[in-house]
Structure 1
Amino acid sequence: MSGRKRTVSDEEILEILLDSEDPFLTTTEVAEVLDFSQPGALKRLRQLEEEEYVETKKAGNSNTWWITEEGREMVSSKS
């Protein structure tokens, strides 16, 4: 199947982080769940970081991401 992938909302990305059994996820892990390229996932995660919905920290060669309190509030307000 080719063509443009479906649009993924910010809330869906935040829910991935919120629902994870791990306290944080790598960019690659988020990309795999979304079926995105790694650069595509990184772009979206950086946008969410600018809006203070996620935070990041470099661990080795990977960025790790976790949801902030603001991100949790955004998800719960949309539910």
Structure 2
Amino acid sequence: MSDGRHDREVSDERVLLEFLLTSDPALFTSELSENLPITRQRVGQLLNELEQDGLVTSKKASGRRLWWLTTSGKEYIAGIARERLA
């Protein structure tokens, strides 16, 4: 049964913003997917792409992947915010 979450696309900026909206320094894929209108699998794909771009990094912890923003990721999302708020 589909919950409709896979029907919408989410921007890279929206995924990166989730890291800034939490007090946790790092998040599991499942935690990110709770706040995004896409499947956990799609969140994982986006995170892998963002990691290739150097905006997030990850490591395996207890069999799960833990993600956090890199310095480049923080600068990127801050630049987007500055542009939109200027």
Same fold (TM over 0.5): yes
Mark the structure with the bigger radius of gyration: 2
- Structure 2: how far apart are the matches of 1:36 and 1:28? 11
TM-score, normalised to structure 2, is 0.81
Instruction: Find the residue that maps to 1:33 and give its secondary structure.
Output: coil
Distance 1:66 1:5, change over 3 A: same
Q: Does 1:48 align with 2:36?
A: no
Q: CA deviation at 1:6?
A: 2.6
Quote the residue 1:34 is aligned against: 36
Q: Cα distance 1:4–1:43, how it changes in 2: closer, same or farther (>3 A)?
A: closer
Residue 7 of structure 1 pairs with residue 33 of structure 2:
no
Alignment-derived partner of residue 72 in structure 1: 74
Look up the equivalent residue of 1:37 and give its one-letter code: T
Mark the runs of 5 or more structure 2 residues left unpaired by the alignment: 82-86
Q: Extract unaligned runs of 5+ from structure 1.
A: none
CA, structure 1 residues 78+47, in 2 after alignment: closer, same or farther (shift >3 Å)?
Answer: same
Secondary structure of the residue that 1:71 maps to in structure 2? Answer: helix
Distance 1:48 1:3 in 2: 20
SS in 2 for 1:72: helix
Aligned mates of 2:48, 2:57 — CA distance in 1: 9
Aligned residues: 79
Counterpart position of 1:16: 18
Residues 2-56 of structure 1, C-alpha deviations (whole Å, 9 max, x = no match): 5963321111111101221111000111111113222111100000000000010
